[in-house]
Structure 1
Amino acid sequence: MSSYPVTFYVVPMEASHAEDICGWEYRPPYNIYGWLPWEQMQALGIEFGDPQLRTEQYVSVVDEEGDLCGFAQLFPMEGVVRLGIGMRPELCGHGRGHSFMNAIVQAALERYPDREIDLEVLTWNQRAIRTYQKCGFTITDTYERRTPSGDKPFYCMVYNK
C-alpha cells in the first residue's frame, strides 16, 4: 500500500461492489461493522442486497484506478441525511480518512443540498471520531442504540458546513 495521498470518488454502487463489501473482515473490535454474506443479503432483500435500496441510498467510494475503497449510505430523513460509512479494512488507520470522508460529504451535499448531514458512531471508536471531527463534524448527542451484540452507546455527530 502506497503512502501518498489518494483522491477518492463517489460512484453508484454496483452489485459487484456490494458482494465485495460483504466479504470484508474487520479486526476486533471493529468486526461489529461486518455484513452478512452477500447471498443472504440478497435473499433477505436488506440494505444493499435490495437493488432499489442500493440504487437510492448507497454509493461506492473508489480511488483513481477505480478500485473499491469503501461505501456510504446516504439515508434520507426529515430535514437530515444520515451517513453510514465503511472503508475497506486494510485501508483503515493509514491517514486517508479525511479525503475519504470529504468525498462522501461532498456527495451528500450535492444530493441533499438543503438537508443537515449527520452520522452515528460508537463512542469507543475514537479513530473514526477524530476523523469525523477533522472533517467538520461535531458531537451533538449521546444515546444508547441496539446493536447485534446488545445496547451500545453512540454519538450523533452533525456536519458544520
Structure 2
Amino acid sequence: MSHLSTPHFHTAPLNEQQAAEICEWVYEPPYDIYGWMSWDQMQELEIEFGDPELRQQQYLAVLDAKEELAGFAQLFPLQQTIRLGIGMRPDLCGNGYGTEFTLAVVRTAIQRNPEAEIDLEVLTWNQRAIRTYQKAGFHITDTYTRRTPDDMKPFYCMVYNKQTS
C-alpha cells in the first residue's frame, strides 16, 4: 500500500476469521489500551464481537480497496443516536488514513439510520484520534469521566455534523 495516496475504505459484515485476527493486533503504548483479549476468551465469554449475534448486529469490518482487513467498527444503538467504536489495524495508524477510514464508517451508520445522530467517545489524551475525527466532521460536545479497565478516565463525546457530508 502506497503511503502517497489514501486507500479507499468500505465496510462489510465482520466475519469470525476477521474477528480472530483483530484479537492478535498489538498497539504501541500508549495506544496498547485499545487491544483485545484473545479470540478464545472473547468467544468463551461471549463478549463484544466474540458473541456471534452481537457481531452480526453491531460490528463491521473496514476493508481497503484490495478487500484486506484495515480495521473494524461498532455501531452501537442508543435511542436516537448511533455511537461509533472504531479501530484501525496498528500498522495503518498514524499514516493519514484515519479521516477516510472514519468517513467509511459514518457512511454506513447514515445508511443504517439516516435520522440518528452519530457520535463517539474518545479519551481526552488521544489527540491523534481527536484531530482525525475533527477532520472527518465531528466536534466535541461534552467532557466527562467514565470507567475504563484501568481506572476512571476523562473522555470527550464528539458528534458528527451531517451538514458537512
Give the alignment's TM-score, normalised by structure 2.
0.96
Give structure 1 regions of 4+ aligned residues with deviation exceeding 3 angstroms: none
Q: What is the number of equivalent residue pairs in this alignment?
A: 161
CA deviation profile, 1:33-55 (whole Å, cap 9, x unmatched): 00010000000000000000000
RMSD value, Cα: 0.6
- In structure 1, the residue corresponding to 2:25 is in which secondary structure? coil
- In structure 1, the residue corresponding to 2:125 is in which secondary structure? coil
Aligned partner of 2:38 in structure 1 is 37
Post-superposition offset of 1:65: 1.1
Aligned partner of 1:76 in structure 2 is 77
Q: Does 1:11 align with 2:42?
A: no
- In structure 1, the residue corresponding to 2:29 is in which secondary structure? coil
Post-superposition offset of 1:95: 0.5
How far apart, CA to CA, are the structure 2 residues paired with 1:71 and 1:13? Answer: 8
* Structure 1 residue identity aligned to 2:41: Q
- In structure 2, the residue corresponding to 1:39 is in which secondary structure? helix
* Structure 1 residue identity aligned to 2:78: M
List alignment gaps of at least 5 residues for structure 1: none
Aligned partner of 2:65 in structure 1 is 64
User: How do 1:118-133 and structure 2 match up within 5 A?
Assistant: 118-133=119-134
- In structure 2, the residue corresponding to 1:17 is in which secondary structure? helix
Give the alignment's TM-score, normalised by structure 1.
0.99
How far apart, CA to CA, are the structure 1 residues paired with 2:145 and 2:51? Answer: 28
How far apart, CA to CA, are the structure 1 residues paired with 2:151 and 2:113? Answer: 32
- In structure 1, the residue corresponding to 2:74 is in which secondary structure? strand
